[in-house]
Amino acid sequence: MAVNTPVRSQKRTFSLSGGLISALDQMVAEGFAPSKNALVERALINELRQFRRQQRATAWKAAAKDPKFMREVAILEEEFRSADQETLRRVS
């Protein structure tokens, strides 16, 4: 699911601590978000982004230990070295 794709909202029920609800109320009252729903959605989107970032980092760490993957990286680096140097000359 794309994070910023507009979709129809679905109602769900979650239990949150009283202190957290009070903090949400205050944040909305002070204009930080237009509603508690918007604030919770924004927080969850940020958490999802962080989760996905962590998944990618874990995958890259695993790939860095894979000899076949690293050989492929070395081949691609060599194949693109002249193109990279040409681009560097153009932008320098």
Task: Annotate the chain with three-state secondary structure.
Answer: CCCCCCCCCCCCCCCCCHHHHHHHHHHHHCCCCCCHHHHHHHHHHHHHHHHHHHHHHHHHHHHHCCHHHHHHHHHHHHHHHHHHHHHHHHHC
Question: Mean pLDDT, to the nearest integer, of 65-83?
Answer: 93
Q: For the whole prediction, is pTM greater than 0.85?
A: no
Q: Which residue has the tokens 């990279």?
A: 84
- What is the percent of the chain where pLDDT is above 90? 74
